[in-house]
Amino acid sequence: METIANLRNMEAAKKVKQLVSAIKTCIMCTHSFNISESRPMTTHKVDNEGNIWFLSNKNSGKNKAIAANNSVDLFFGDRKTKFLTLHGNATILYDKEKIKELWHPIQKVWFKKGINDPSISVIKVTFTSGHYWDNKHRKIVELLKKAKRFLSGRNKMDTGISGNLTK
């Protein structure tokens, strides 16, 4: 049986930080110009308040979409045990100190001029709500437990924990 644990405020931010730090890559969905668009994004940081930070090209479609409508959805999943959906608001920043903080040399693939590339922007997503699933067991263990429950005639299983997140 699944345990429900709804989290608010700093408890929610702590859970977001835990899951995003473990998963790292998400699908970011923007909603503007009467269309929703999704694209993969790698998180560069999640802070103690649960804010999620990305680097982006200031001329990208996602930046244009966020400028028109800052409402975004983020979808995280590790394909095994951890899943997270977040709804929030995105802010585009051009803070050189934050760019230096978030920079990693691999970013030169996207920003040819390096850390001082004038096309770099920062996207900060502040979540307002979300939902998480944090399964206790790895896939094979979960499969074996399901088989045991099925064969024993017991139909309830402790599959993990999930809940709503609100700031």
How does pLDDT run across 18-38, given as a tens digit for each residue? 999 999 999 999 999 889 999
Check which CATH number belongs to the domain holding 30 and give it.
2.30.110.10
Q: What are phi and psi of 49, to 5 degrees?
A: -90, 0
How many domains is the chain partitioned into structurally?
1
142: helix, strand or coil: helix
Per the DSSP assignment, residues forming a β-bridge with 55 are 122
How does 86-119 read in b/e, with b if 16+ C-beta sit within 10 Å? bbbebebeeeeebbeebbeeebeeebeeeeebee
pLDDT over 80 (residue 152): no
Helix (H), strand (E) at residue 90: strand 82-93
Rounded to whole angstroms, the Cα distance separating 66 from 59 reads 11
Helix (H), strand (E) at residue 147: helix 139-152
Q: Give how far Cα 89 sits from Cα of 69, 113, 161, Å.
A: 9, 29, 26
pLDDT (tens digit, 9 = 90+) per residue, 81-112?
899 999 999 999 999 999 999 999 999 999 99
Rounded to the nearest 10°, the torsion over CA 101, 82, 32, 103 is: 10
Enter the pTM of the model: 0.84
Give me the domain span that covers residue 151. 2-166
Calculate ∠ Cα 2-8-14, nearest 5°.
85
Mean pLDDT, rounded, of the chain: 88
